[in-house]
């Protein structure tokens, strides 16, 4: 029985985890695969550095050629990170007919479609489940499920840092800046948290999920993205009193062949399964035509969960090699990209505004909405922070994004409306 | 490329769903498998009955021999139910080297280990993911994960009927009997609900999960099972006021090679992910050594979710045929069965008792517990339903089941204790 040889790019915490798992689970892997896996080469910066895992000195190299152009190597396992240089290396590996397993979401979000096409042209696989949600095998589950079901909607909490921050802001009533500082101290947030808190990291993951689920080539630019920096304690407190929890939710949905992908702060009913996903945990909620609602919950990151996902992907790649179906795993885009227009995007909205506390204010505001055919499920009015002002909080019924935009535009023109304080999507209700 | 021929036993709602999926997803299946799937024979009672799916009249037969002894058939898909007759038929199929996909948990819980051994001896697969939690691919996920991780604990809501009843009792404050009647009218509970409400159905599923997770031959008799019939509105109301939700939870855990499997009403913190699994939904929470906490949520039953799971299993079986690793999928028991004794089963308990409202009562009770080295996290005392009586509700810290049994025994001997009203496991807290 053929032994499968791998080249491991990177020996940080994830790479070390991969080496440990392959060593400790040899028997189980042989049993499940009918093949042994052997590490042939490991790409590192410093071949003399002390390692906290036993690696054969013979394996170590700082020359990528010894991996990507090595005729003995079948699969490249990329756990070193980086975008442009790594992309060139992976392209070279694919041209040399190496399969790839990667945990690198930045690489896949930027160059994924090109790499997947190149892989297919060379009958190679790229597996990247570890890049999306660490310990949750979501790409595999979607991909397996897709063979016998059609996905209509995905809602995901796919960024641990922002979920941690929102959890602390909600449960401990702390301000955004204070929680961010704490998260940075605990290592849950990076020194430059922009990519997380602005929603970019989540948008990258939603791109990968949407491409797979809808078989369209959706790019990062197609994802409407807004982050959590402007969410205030007042927003959270109003949301809570109306029975909602605010989460940063990635949404990908399809209706009549048209797709919408977004990442934005979203109010969910407190008894929605995603509302209880706390701290740094991730979860992905999937609505399939046949199966209905399913949810997958787990650690979104961490070196051992990620290493476990990498090894699972590696095993799938090896199965495909032996089945002779390499390059078929992820269905390449089959449909022309069709994005929903604003008038086709339907959801509910939470809208909060500061108004003059004078006779007729409420009527002027409701006239605007009724002109746009917007109706409401919930309305709160209460004294504003300044004298002779009030605050109005409303939750609409299902309306189009265009109706929202038009209504907000008209409201801003009313003299009795001092300011639109905030507005958020409301989802997950009947 | 070889076409794979299947024999379908049963053409009820699930069987019809399987036929539909195979027809509607031909291209995706070919793409994912590199093989076509053809239905060769369908076993039905009445070959002339009108069907709501187009089946070739040639396929239909009421003679099982045409399936299980048919040299052209590779895989038997069993979706007809039944235990003893079905078991004999499946044994015959395995002896004739047919692989099996089944959605029949009763069959697998009773005869599963024997069938799996027979399958292995004939290098055949039995896949039965559809039997455990309908739309949740939990066996596959455990089995894939096991190749690179070790499972320490599983907690599952694996019976939709009891979860529906408990949800209604909690949210709508209805009595057990009233909700049961409603559930029966809605088709969520059977006319004879014994197997569901006594926990037997859940125990069968936990047996299947525990066997797979711990690679031991655990039988239904090893599962300590208690149902939900005695849960009162007062229990639910005390649990709620202490911050808990009562669920019927199946638990399978391993410590130092010793296993505990149980199904019993359990109090979970209201912010535990399983606490929000409502109505007829199922969910399985898994703690893996490397991955940490993951949860899989979805419909526990229903004909389309089950049919989708059957087709997914069928695709795995076909992959294995082509890989030449049939019979390896589910690891057969590798370890001797070792069950935890009561003194090795650790958890917290909720205990509720009716006592005399007189001086010294509380001290006598706490003396009993302190003799058994049982300490408490929460204590409530309040007036009882009768004059000069009181009710005490306590939540212990972690204690052994033996400590619980000893304490309850001693409490019953105290004249100031009128009755132990109820006691439940408390789990899911730090």
Establish if A295 touches chain B: CB-CB under 8 angstroms.
yes
Does B197 share its domain with B127? no
- B21 contacts chain A (CB < 8 A): yes
Compare B6 and A134 and report the one with higher pLDDT.
B6
Do A121 and A184 lie in one domain? The reply is no
Is residue A337, in this structure, part of any structural domain at all? no
How many angstroms separate the CA atoms of B266 and B185, rounded? Answer: 27
pLDDT digits (tens, 9 = 90+) for B85-112: 999 999 999 999 999 999 998 899 889 9
pLDDT tens string B348-389: 999 999 999 988 999 999 999 999 999 999 998 888 878 889
Q: Single out the residue of A229, A151, A196 nearest to residue B25, CA to CA.
A: A151
Residue B157 pLDDT: 97
The two tokens of residue B270 are: 């209201």
Taking CB atoms and an 8 Å cutoff, what residues of chain B touch A315? Answer: 144, 147-148
Q: A170 and A214, same structural domain?
A: yes
- For residue B149, the chain A residue with the least C-alpha distance is A308
The 10 Å Cβ neighbour count of residue A96 is 16
Rounded to an integer, the average pLDDT of A161-168 is 96
What is the Cβ-side half-sphere exposure of residue A241, based on CA atoms within 13 angstroms? 12
| pLDDT tens track for A167-224 | 999 999 999 999 999 989 988 788 899 999 999 999 999 999 999 899 888 999 999 9
Both tokens of residue A7? 């080249």
Same-domain pairing of B204 and B93: no
Q: Average the pLDDT over A300-322 and give the result.
A: 88
How confident is the model at residue A113, as a pLDDT? 87
- Which residue in the list A120, A205, A247, A348 is annotated as catalytic? A205
Q: Please indicate, yes or no, whether residues A175 and A232 belong to a single structural domain of this protein.
A: yes
Task: Encode pLDDT of A53-112 as tens digits.
Answer: 888 889 999 999 999 999 999 999 999 999 999 999 999 999 999 999 999 988 998 899
Euclidean distance between CA atoms A203 and B199, whole angstroms: 43
Q: Which is nearest to A109 in space by CA: A90, A77, A83, A76?
A: A83
pLDDT of residue A324: 77
Q: Smallest CA–CA separation between B184 and chain A, in Å?
A: 22
Q: B275 pLDDT exceeds 60?
A: yes
Looking at the structure, do residues A43 and A109 belong to the same domain, yes or no? yes
Q: Over the stretch B216-262, which tens digit does the pLDDT of each residue have?
A: 889 999 999 999 999 999 999 999 999 999 999 999 999 999 999 99
pLDDT attached to residue B330: 59
pLDDT at position B140 is: 82
Q: Is the pLDDT of residue B37 over 80?
A: yes
Residues of B in contact with A302 (CB under 8 A): 292
What pLDDT was estimated at residue A267? 98
Please tell me the least confidently modeled range out of A137-141, B244-248, B260-264, B405-409.
A137-141
Q: What is the mean pLDDT of chain B?
A: 91
Which of B269, B290, B323 corresponds to the end of one domain? Answer: B323
Cα A288 to Cα B302: distance, rounded to the nearest angstrom:
14
Q: At A332, is the pLDDT very low, low, confident or very high (cuts 50, 70, 90)?
A: low
Q: Which ipTM value was assigned to this complex?
A: 0.83
pLDDT at A35: 83
Q: What is the pLDDT of residue A372?
A: 95
* A219: CB partners within 8 A, 6+ apart: A113, A207
CA dist., res. A85 & res. A97, Å (int): 19
Nearest to A346 by CA among A283, A273, A262, A411: A262
pLDDT the model gives residue A300: 81
- B363 and B254 in a common domain: no
| pLDDT mean over A2-24 | 93
For B119-177, the pLDDT digits (tens) are 989 999 999 988 887 778 888 888 877 778 889 999 999 999 999 999 999 999 999 99
For testing contact with chain A, the best of B26, B31, B147 (most A CBs within 10 A):
B147
A130 in any annotated domain: yes
Structural contact between residues A352 and A267, judged by C-beta atoms closer than 8 angstroms:
no
Instruction: Specify whether B310 is located in the same domain as B289.
Output: no
pLDDT digits (tens, 9 = 90+) for A253-278: 999 999 999 999 999 999 899 998 99
Report the run of H or E that residue A422 belongs to, with start and end. strand A417-426
**Most trustworthy range by pLDDT among A132-141, B13-22, B320-329:** B13-22
Q: Percentage of chain B with pLDDT > 70?
A: 98
pLDDT of A385 strictly over 90:
no
Asked if A298's CB is within 8 angstroms of B294's CB, the reply is yes
Tokens, residue A103: 């945990």
B89-108 as b/e: b if 16+ CB within 10 A: bbbbbbebebbbbbbbbbbb
Q: With cut-offs at 50, 70 and 90, classify the pLDDT of residue A329.
A: low
Same domain, B295 and B381: no
Residues 368-427 of A with CB under 8 A from B: none
Greatest mean pLDDT among A161-165, A286-290, A298-302 lies in: A161-165
Whether residue B332 lies inside any domain: the answer is: no
Q: pLDDT averaged over chain A?
A: 92
CB B158 within 8 A of CB B280: no
Give the model's confidence band at B331: pLDDT under 50 very low, under 70 low, under 90 confident, else very high: low
User: Beta strand A75-78 with A99-102: parallel, antiparallel or unpaired?
Assistant: parallel
Segment among A360-364, A382-386, B5-9 with least mean pLDDT? A382-386
- φ, ψ of residue A310 in degrees (nearest 5): -60, -45
Give the separation between CA B174 and CA B191, rounded to whole angstroms: 20
Pairing of strands B126-127, B99-102: parallel
Q: Is residue A341 part of a domain?
A: no
Alpha carbons B337 and B210: distance in angstroms, whole number: 11
Contact: A272, B277; criterion CB under 8 Å: no
Rounded distance between C-alpha atoms, residue A134 and residue A362, angstroms: 48
Do A127 and A146 share a structural domain? no
The CATH number assigned to the domain holding B413 equals 3.30.70.260
Beta bridge partners of A153: A253, A287
pLDDT of residue B329: 63
Q: Which of B400, B420, B401 is nearest to B410 (CA)?
A: B420
- Residue B330 is assigned to a structural domain of this protein: no
In terms of Cα–Cα distance, which of B57, B56, B428, B50 is closest to B245?
B428
Nearest alpha carbon to residue B148 among A79, A306, A302: A306
pLDDT of residue B189: 84
3-state secondary structure chain B: CCCEEEEEECCCHHHHHHHHHHHHCHHHHHHHHCCCEEEEEEECCCCCCCCCCCCCHHHEECCCHHHHCCCCCCEEEECCCCCHHHHHHHHHHHHCCCEEEECCHHHHHHHHHHHHHHHHHCCCCEECCHHHHCCCCHHHHHHHHHCCCCEEEEEEECCHHHHHHHHHHHHCCCCHHHHHHHHHHHCCCCCCCHHHHCCHHHHHHHHHHHHHHHCCCCCHHHCEECCCCCCCHHHHHHHHHCCEEEEEEEEEEEECCEEEEEEEEEEEECCCHHHHCCCCEEEEEEEECCCEEEEEEEECCCHHHHHHHHHHHHHHHHHHHHHCCCCCCCCCCCCCCCECCHHHCEEEEEEEEEEECCCCHHHHHHHHHHHCCCCEEEEEEEECCCCCEEEEEEEECCEEHHHHHHHHHHHHCCCCEEEEEEEEEECCCC
Determine how many CB atoms are found less than 10 A away from the CB of residue B57. Answer: 7
For the residues B26-50, what does the mean pLDDT come to?
88
Q: ∠ CA(A207), CA(A102), CA(A88), 5° rounding?
A: 90
Does B9 share its domain with B110? yes
Count: domains in chain B: 3
pLDDT, tens only, A406-417? 999 999 999 999
Within a domain: A239 = yes
- Chain A CB contacts of B149 under 8 Å are 308
CATH code (residue B100): 3.40.50.720
Q: What is the CATH number of the domain that holds B273?
A: 3.30.360.10
Question: Using a CB-CB distance cutoff of 8 angstroms, which residues of chain B are in contact with residue A33?
Answer: 325
Task: List the domain range (segments joined by +) for residue A420.
Answer: 346-426
Residue A329 lies in a domain: no
Residues B152 and B287 in one domain: yes
Q: Which of B299, B331, B360 is the last residue of a domain?
A: B299
A1 pLDDT above the threshold of 60? no
- In chain B, what percentage of residues exceed pLDDT 90? 70
Mean pLDDT within B289-293: 88
Could you tell me if residue B315 is inside a domain?
A: yes
- The per-residue pLDDT for B51 is 84
Please tell me if residue B311 touches chain A, with a CB cutoff of 8 Å: yes
């Amino acid at each position: 029985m053929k032994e499968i040889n791998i080249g491991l790019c990177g020996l940080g915490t994830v790479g070390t985890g991969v080496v440990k798992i392959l060593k400790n689970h040899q028997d189980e892997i042989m049993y499940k695969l009918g093949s042994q896996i052997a590490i042939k080469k490991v790409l590192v910066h410093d071949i003399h550095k002390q390692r906290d895992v036993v690696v054969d000195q013979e394996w170590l190299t700082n020359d990528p050629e010894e991996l990507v152009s090595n005729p003995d190597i079948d699969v490249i396992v990329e756990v070193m990170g980086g975008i442009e240089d790594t992309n060139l290396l992976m392209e070279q590996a694919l041209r040399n007919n190496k399969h790839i397993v990667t945990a690198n979401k930045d690489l896949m979000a930027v160059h994924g479609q090109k790499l997947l096409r190149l892989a297919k042209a060379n009958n190679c696989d790229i597996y990247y489940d570890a890049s999306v949600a660490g310990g949750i095998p979501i790409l595999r589950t979607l991909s397996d499920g897709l063979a016998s079901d059609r996905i209509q909607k995905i809602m995901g909490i796919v960024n641990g840092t922002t979920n941690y921050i929102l959890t602390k802001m909600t449960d401990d009533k702390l301000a955004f800046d204070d929680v961010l500082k704490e998260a940075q101290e605990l290592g849950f947030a990076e020194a430059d948290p922009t990519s997380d808190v602005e929603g970019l990291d989540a948008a990258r993951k939603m791109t990968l999920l949407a491409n797979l689920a809808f078989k369209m080539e959706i790019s990062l630019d197609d994802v409407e993205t807004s982050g959590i920096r402007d969410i205030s304690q007042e927003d959270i407190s109003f949301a809570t009193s109306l029975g909602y929890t605010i989460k940063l939710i990635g949404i990908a949905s399809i209706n009549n062949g048209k797709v919408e992908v977004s990442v934005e702060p979203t109010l969910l009913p407190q008894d929605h399964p995603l509302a209880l996903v706390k701290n740094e945990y991730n979860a992905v909620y999937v609505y399939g035509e046949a199966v209905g609602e399913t949810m997958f919950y787990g650690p979104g990151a961490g070196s051992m969960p990620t290493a476990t996902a990498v090894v699972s992907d590696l095993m799938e790649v090896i199965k495909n090699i032996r089945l002779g179906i390499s390059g078929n795993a992820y269905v390449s885009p089959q449909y022309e990209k069709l994005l929903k227009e604003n008038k086709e995007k339907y959801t509910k909205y939470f809208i909060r505004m500061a108004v003059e506390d004078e006779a007729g204010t409420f009527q002027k505001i409701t006239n605007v909405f009724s002109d746009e055919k917007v109706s409401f499920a919930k309305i709160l009015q209460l004294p504003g922070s300044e004298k002779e002002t009030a605050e109005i909080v409303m939750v609409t019924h299902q309306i189009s994004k265009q109706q929202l935009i038009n209504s907000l535009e008209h409201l801003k023109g009313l003299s009795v409306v001092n300011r639109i304080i905030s507005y958020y999507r409301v989802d997950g209700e009947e």
